[in-house]
Structure 1
Amino acid sequence: MTVAISERATWRDYLALTKPKVISLLLFTTLTAMFMAARGWPDLVLLLAVAVGGYMSAGASGVFNMIIDRDIDLKMKRTSKRPTSSGLIGTRDAFVFGMSLTVASFALLWAAANLLTALLSLAGLLTYVVVYTMMLKRTTWHNIVIGGAAGCFPPLVGWASVTGDLNLFAWYLFAIIFFWTPVHFWALALMIKDEYAEVGVPMLPVVHGEKLTVVQIALYAVLTVVISLQPVLFREVGLIYGVVAAWTGALLLRGSWRLYRKIERPTAVSLYKYSMLYLALLFLAAAVDRALLS
């Protein structure tokens, strides 16, 4: 049943379409990457423009995702009240909103930063909407491994906005998020695997069971920690980052090991929540470290 937008939908409902809670961590990696690239404070006008443009781009991807997944969202308890699945906001209006955000984001990032920044942001959007949501999510358990690359673009966007190019360290930031994503998302998938199974989404714990999932989580946690320490060897970061990366990485490995030893919901929830803190602390440490090294 479709609900008339003029009667019920508000700006808060349109804001919900952009998935602000999900975007917050993506935007944080974008902005901290700007500080890393600038080795201190970037231009404040540029910082604000990238923050707004980055939010609009990531928000647009959330809008398109909700449009495409509105059928299965309605059947899952976690997503059943989303504006598109509930019918509060119609498909056409959501699509127009998403396209408006996409165009405005591209124009703002190009004007305030450079074309590379705008293209990288658009690439992240297309990877999430086309590669992950449309092509992989409902067809293979590899969906989050390959499609998760969408979440790796924000630090590239932040870096390119300051420097106009991408160096090896920027790609390390990409790689850290790439290997971190399965740890983070599969912990969530363990928590709601029955819902995924009910709607036919082939997440790893649904297809191959919980035991293989926790093994994969542990392997990706190891790879994440190893990759996160590489920039220290190349002297892109120093002692502050090295200590934080080693400490937070050890906690990530411990959480993964605890989940491997005993697969239960509280442990999965704990790892899921900590994984977000881990990534935030890692990027914050890199930003602070590079500022002090300059």
Structure 2
Amino acid sequence: MKLRVVELLLVTTLPALFLASDGMPDIGVTFWSLFGGALAAGGANAFNMVIEAKSDQLMKRTSQRPIATGVISRNSGLVFAAIISLLSLIIFYIFTTPLATLLTALAIIFYVFGYTIALKKHTSQNIVWGGIAGCMPVLIGQAAVTNSLTLTSWLFFLLIFFWTPPHFWALAVRYKEDYQAAGIPMLPVVAPIKSVINQMWFHSLAMAVVSLLVISSANLPIWLSVITLLLIVGWKRQLIKLTKQPTEVNAGKLFQASIIFLSIYSFLLVIGVLLK
């Protein structure tokens, strides 16, 4: 299920629930949204492992995944993925709203067929558009509470959209040889490092702007914008280091910095809603 990836998706779902509720969300809706979201993301990830079993065998970073090693068969993995994906949709339909259920289904379908099958091995912009699947939890969180979407939820969606490419490109810089071995045209594999870093700057600057727009749209306290700017400065300092010295070590630190930014920012949104 790639639970470390699932965890980060849930980190962004939680503030979406608070923003949608304009305060403390219903405990039941929160629990079922997070549980259903974990199953949906885990199911999509399991489908991904089934489809990419051969590619995973060629990459050191993924070679020990259970289907790649044969610990779990592809058929068993497929059944597992299908069952927990279906269960997630049932949970969303019973305990949340029809729109949240629909968005969850679209997220699973897009990650499996859009990103994994159609984009990942065929374009260097795979993670730019494929990353849309990872943006969906913030819309699902909003829809689970209100059965509708708002400007704030779409801005939060855009924030994740712009955050995703530099986050994954940093990982791809660090594991460039792995992606080359598997024949996956991640941008750092097929483009000069200067071009990769330039695109990282574009997306991260766009993300910075949108992160402030989310706060403004939700009418959250101004001090959140100040702290967010400090977080952005911390991330940009690491991006500057990578720009000056494009090493695997600096790429790894930028990857971690992006996770820290999104985690703290999500926590701040929750606090901001409660102190509003």
Task: Please give the TM-score of this superposition, normalised by the length of structure 1.
Answer: 0.91
Matches within 5 A, 1:198-277: 198-234=181-217, 236-277=219-260
Range with bigger deviation, 273-282 or 235-244: 235-244
Give me the whole-angstrom Cα distance separating, in 1, the residues matched to 2:218 and 2:98: 29
Give me the whole-angstrom Cα distance separating, in 1, the residues matched to 2:99 and 2:78: 25
Change in CA separation of 1:234 and 1:98 when aligned onto 2, cut-off 3 Å? closer
- Name the amino acid aligned to 2:213: Q
Give me the whole-angstrom Cα distance separating, in 2, the residues matched to 1:270 and 1:133: 26
User: Which residue is equivalent to 1:146?
Assistant: 129
**Structure 1: stretches of 5+ with no match in the other structure:** 1-17
* Deviation (angstroms), 1:234: 3.8
Give me the whole-angstrom Cα distance separating, in 2, the residues matched to 1:235 and 1:143: 31
User: Which residue is equivalent to 1:289?
Assistant: 272
Change in CA separation of 1:233 and 1:104 when aligned onto 2, cut-off 3 Å? closer
Question: What secondary structure is seen at the aligned counterpart in 2 of 1:106?
Answer: helix
Give me the whole-angstrom Cα distance separating, in 1, the residues matched to 2:9 and 2:3: 10
**Structure 2: stretches of 5+ with no match in the other structure:** none
Root mean square deviation of aligned Cα: 1.2
Q: Could you tell me whether the CA contact under 8 Å between 1:188 and 1:268 is conserved in 2?
A: yes
Q: Which structure 1 residue ranges, 4+ long, deviate > 4 Å from structure 2? A: none
Matches within 5 A, 1:5-84: 18-84=1-67
Give me the whole-angstrom Cα distance separating, in 1, the residues matched to 2:223 and 2:16: 16
* Deviation (angstroms), 1:233: 4.0
User: Which residue is equivalent to 1:169?
Assistant: 152
Q: Could you tell me whether the CA contact under 8 Å between 2:152 and 2:218 is conserved in 1?
A: no
- Name the amino acid aligned to 1:117: A
Q: C-alpha offsets along residues 117-166 of structure 1, whole Å, 9 cap, x if unaligned?
A: 11111111112111110001001101000001110001111111111211
Range with bigger deviation, 232-241 or 108-117: 232-241
Question: What secondary structure is seen at the aligned counterpart in 1 of 2:113?
Answer: helix
Give me the whole-angstrom Cα distance separating, in 1, the residues matched to 2:188 and 2:86: 37
Identity across matched positions, percent: 35
Give me the whole-angstrom Cα distance separating, in 2, the residues matched to 1:113 and 1:258: 44
Task: Please give the TM-score of this superposition, normalised by the length of structure 2.
Answer: 0.97
Matched length? 276
Q: Could you tell me whether the CA contact under 8 Å between 2:159 and 2:210 is conserved in 1?
A: yes
- Name the amino acid aligned to 1:253: K
Range with bigger deviation, 19-28 or 259-268: 259-268
- Name the amino acid aligned to 1:273: Q
Q: Could you tell me whether the CA contact under 8 Å between 1:39 and 1:287 is conserved in 2?
A: no
* Deviation (angstroms), 1:241: 2.0
